[in-house]
Structure 1
Amino acid sequence: MVTQFAKSLERAAMPPTNRSEDDAPAIGVGFLGAGPVTQAIHLPSLARLTDHFDVAHVMDVDADVAAAVASRVGAASSTSMAELLGDPRVDVVAICSPHKFHAAQVIAVCRAGKKAVLCEKPFAVSADEAAEIAAVSAETGVPIIVGAMHTFDPGWLAAEHLWGNLPTTAHTIRSSVVLPPNARFEDFATEVIARPAGERPDYSDPAVVAATLEGGVLGLAIHDLPLVRRFVPAFDDLQVLRAEVVRPWGYVFLLRAGGRTIELTAAVNATWKPDWTLEAIGPDSTLKVTFTPSYVHAGSAVAEFTTAGLTTVAGPFGHNGYEGEWRRIAEIVAGTEPAPNPAGLIEDLRFALAIVDGARAHVLKEVA
């Protein structure tokens, strides 16, 4: 059944519509990077939230791409971060650039005094970068939201109300992802000419295996790692028992941390039916959250909590995490909801980096 509290949760998460002339003006959004994530995820999400947001500026190092994307939404375009940050119409900046630029750009947005910054995951690639970002955010008062969209999905938020003491009793947590290649969705959504298939990686090279596993953690698993960490708050004893690449692309991780077993699996295969699930299993209860595939905007995750032989189902709701993160930003800017705790963001990243480091050590040990 769909619980009444879950229905109330979705209503509470939905910003009011039909803004009147007396209401505050729309929140101006600027994008650093105009690639597939901006085009196929964020612009469609904002198109459903025009009562609260207005895309004001699009920056990309490719002037033609910036201009083309900006023209779709009537925004200004540029190839300069400084020009975007200097645009007074930009209240919130969304960072959709390659990972290596995230930390410096987040800090620059904070220094520019914007109202908030949404950074695609990961928001940093080292614990030192994350700590520096947290310090600048505290100094400037600019809130940081990391685009791990599942944390904002109303299906996941409903699960938090269902699970009772499961976070303290769960012994096994599983994240399982089966997806077609991103390009299938990106090419349709962005009208980009289909890209030729790249060369197959040489998985006989340990360095390639380690790099592939790192990319899997920081590019895909990281969506669910903040959720996994709700069940594993202490992970300094993390052990990587298994870390393998799945062909043609994917991973299998078997971890132990905080007395719990963690299984992370992913397979990107064009012929398999998409599936994305998170499970937490305890001695007398289980939770299963089924998320929509990447790039799918219709509908939320569905949470199923089972205990004493009875299953309670929450969802699907009318929106998922892509839209949910923008709804949360609107609430943060309006002052009706607090910003995420920077310390929690640092711990989420530290968890991901610990898995990366453990996987690299595991691969080298297997070779030796």
Structure 2
Amino acid sequence: MSSHSDATRTLGVGILGAGPVTQAIHLPSLARLGDLLTVRHIMDVDPAVAESVAARVGAAHSTSINALLEDPKVEVVAICSPHQFHAEQVIAACRAGKKAVLCEKPFAMNAEEAAQISAVSEETGVPIIVGAMHTFDPGWLAAEANWGSLPQTAHTIRSSIVLPPNARFEDFASEVITRPAAGTRDYTDIEVIKGMLNGGIMGLAIHDLPLVRRFTPDFAAVEVLEARIVRPFGYVISLRTPTRTIELRGAMNNTWNPEWSFEAFSDDEALRIDFTPSYVQAGSATATLSRAGTTIVHGPFEHNGYEGEWRELAAIASGSKQAPSAQTLIDDLTFALHIANATAARVDADHQTAQAIREGAHP
């Protein structure tokens, strides 16, 4: 094949933010997809980081979003910056006329930002996907192709995440969570508790909330029954809707056996999906479907959602696949934000109740 045809079929990638997620997840995935995508430009506010990471892949580097967006070799943009910058950068990439945008979750911090992104995407015609990697995992997709009516009939849904606290996750958690420096966390401080729970939901559980929502037709009516932290970092959150019981569990501790699973149960069917731990590049999730005394396992497949999201982006940018509707992305984000807000409200209510009991016992 000629070099000209190679150039026309390989999409140029620009990455905003060159932190651990870019270095340990996206660059290895893109290295395996050289027939589809080529990293052309890396931007980071730290010039030394931008230069060093770009040098690994032979890309241009800068400290300016405008320099990256104005680079004619950049056709698709990945937004891997701190989450408070996501919305403005997604909008800027759309207005720059790029072919597609991949944004790390959450793609917005509130419903107003999400609505702005949706409007700009519709106005410019630039498709957006959010990097909830499990929705692109071949194991999840195989389950989707075979689960039949389970999303309508399921009554219990569970997301369970147990991970070791490696340095990358500590860095990630410290960015997400509003809390004192490590080692001085006050587990009795109501604001620290709410910060930890919010960080758990918007930083960890958010990976699986689109999956939970898929099995929760009445997701708009979700309410939080119980929310508590798990030390040193984790959460247990029990929720319900009129037709569903939902449990979200997450913990980062000194485990030797990481586990990341999603489960859904109806009266006569069960689905369990076992995902690979974060930062693991090889192999997909496995999906186990049980019904009427039979059990069928799908997977593992050759790649997981880290590579899957880039394959999806390439297909969308080249026009061979349609992007998910902006409404789906907004609904996923609204669901996560609602759970985060309702969890904070539940913690406040429980705290006030406990305080009233204490004051009643000690007038």
TM-score (normalizing by structure 1): 0.90
How do residues 210-229 of structure 1 correspond to structure 2 at under 5 angstroms?
Answer: 210-229=194-213
Q: Deviations over 1:56-85 (max 9, x none)?
A: 001000000000000000001110001110
CA contact (8 A) 2:152 2:217 kept: no
1:181 Cα deviation after fit: 1.7
Which secondary structure does the structure 2 equivalent of 1:280 belong to?
A: strand
Q: Deviations over 1:267-321 (max 9, x none)?
A: 1012341000000000000000000000000000000000001001100000000
Q: Deviations over 1:145-186 (max 9, x none)?
A: 100000000000000011111111100000000001242689
Which secondary structure does the structure 2 equivalent of 1:236 belong to?
A: helix
Q: Deviations over 1:237-256 (max 9, x none)?
A: 21100111100000000000
User: How many pairs does the alignment contain?
Assistant: 342
- Letter matched to residue 5 of structure 2: D
Tell whether 2:270 aligns with 1:259. Answer: no
CA distance 1:186–1:35, shift in 2 (3 Å): farther
CA distance 1:247–1:273, shift in 2 (3 Å): same
Q: What is residue 299 of structure 1 aligned with on the other side?
A: 283
- Letter matched to residue 342 of structure 1: A
Q: Distance in 2 between matches of 1:256 and 1:281?
A: 14
- Letter matched to residue 230 of structure 1: R
CA contact (8 A) 2:218 2:243 kept: no
- Letter matched to residue 155 of structure 1: G
CA distance 1:59–1:184, shift in 2 (3 Å): closer
Mean alpha-carbon deviation: is it higher for 234-243 or for 132-141? 234-243
CA distance 1:186–1:154, shift in 2 (3 Å): farther
Q: Distance in 1 between matches of 2:167 and 2:305?
A: 20
1:211 Cα deviation after fit: 1.1
Q: What is residue 116 of structure 2 aligned with on the other side?
A: 132
Q: What is residue 188 of structure 2 aligned with on the other side?
A: 204
- Letter matched to residue 42 of structure 2: V
Q: Deviations over 1:114-173 (max 9, x none)?
A: 011100000001011101100000000000010000000000000001111111110000
1:333 Cα deviation after fit: 1.4
CA distance 1:186–1:364, shift in 2 (3 Å): closer
Tell whether 2:63 aligns with 1:79. Answer: yes
Q: What is residue 174 of structure 2 aligned with on the other side?
A: none
Q: What is residue 115 of structure 1 aligned with on the other side?
A: 99
Q: Which of 55, 59, 83 matches 1:99? A: 83
Q: Distance in 2 between matches of 1:290 and 1:200?
A: 34
CA contact (8 A) 1:178 1:272 kept: no
CA distance 1:249–1:316, shift in 2 (3 Å): same
Q: What is residue 225 of structure 2 aligned with on the other side?
A: 241
- Letter matched to residue 149 of structure 1: M
Q: What is residue 67 of structure 1 aligned with on the other side?
A: 51
How do residues 136-175 of structure 1 correspond to structure 2 at under 5 angstroms?
Answer: 136-175=120-159
Q: Distance in 2 between matches of 1:367 and 1:240?
A: 15
TM-score (normalizing by structure 2): 0.92
Q: What is residue 4 of structure 1 aligned with on the other side?
A: none
Tell whether 2:51 aligns with 1:51. Answer: no
Q: Deviations over 1:43-63 (max 9, x none)?
A: 000000001111000100000
Q: Which of 346, 352, 355 matches 2:339? A: 355
Which secondary structure does the structure 1 equivalent of 2:102 belong to?
A: strand
Q: Distance in 2 between matches of 1:235 and 1:120?
A: 23
Query: Structure 1: where are the runs of 5+ without partners?
Result: 1-17, 188-196
Tell whether 2:5 aligns with 1:22. Answer: yes
Q: Which of 58, 73, 76 matches 1:89? A: 73
